[in-house]
């Protein structure tokens, strides 16, 4: 069985500062890992994905994440926060067990201060 843990339900950064959202996973088989962003009253938008290729994954809006198998982590970073980055972020793990099943983390709300 797989699971996802996002450390910190809320993260607050100043505009222009580094964004770091933490995600740890567990999976008995090689996982696919994802980060999604959700704006209020909207669905989820894919930021980036890891599917066993390069361990450093670049996504949209300047975000990137690094898959570290030894640490079972997939932390999301962005060098410089923008006000428009304020949203809810979800880490997710997906495995193919005769069909993909995706488990989402609890989410991290990112606040960006002017």
Cα–Cα distance list, 1 to 26, 59, 97 (Å): 8, 27, 10
Residue numbers 20-39 binding another protein by CB under 8 A: 32, 34, 36
Q: Which is nearer to another protein, 43 or 114 (CB)?
A: 43
How far is residue 52 CA from its own chain's centroid?
16
Size of the site for another protein (CB under 8 A): 23
Q: Which is nearer to another protein, 26 or 51 (CB)?
A: 51
* 3-class state of residue 77 by DSSP: strand
Q: Which stretch binds another protein (CB under 8 A): 23-31, 58-66, 77-85, 88-96?
A: 88-96
* 3-class state of residue 16 by DSSP: coil
Q: Determine phi and psi for 16, rounding to 5 degrees.
A: 90, -15
The candidate with the shortest Cα–Cα distance to 67, out of 85, 86, 80, 48, is 48
Member of 2, 7, 15, 44 binding another protein (CB under 8 A): 44
Positions touching another protein (CB under 8 A) are 32, 34, 36, 41-46, 49, 51, 90, 94, 96, 99-102, 104-107, 109
């Amino acid at each position: 069985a797989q699971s996802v843990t996002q450390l910190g339900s809320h993260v607050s950064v100043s505009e222009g500062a580094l964004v770091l959202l933490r995600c740890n996973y567990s999976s008995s088989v090689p996982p696919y890992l994802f980060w999604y962003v959700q704006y209020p009253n909207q669905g989820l938008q894919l930021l980036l994905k890891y599917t066993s290729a390069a361990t450093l994954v670049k996504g949209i809006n300047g975000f990137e994440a690094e898959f570290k198998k030894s640490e079972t982590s997939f932390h999301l970073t962005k060098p410089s926060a923008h006000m428009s980055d304020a949203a809810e972020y979800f880490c997710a793990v997906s495995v193919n067990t005769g069909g993909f099943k995706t488990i989402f983390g609890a989410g991290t709300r990112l606040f960006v201060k002017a």
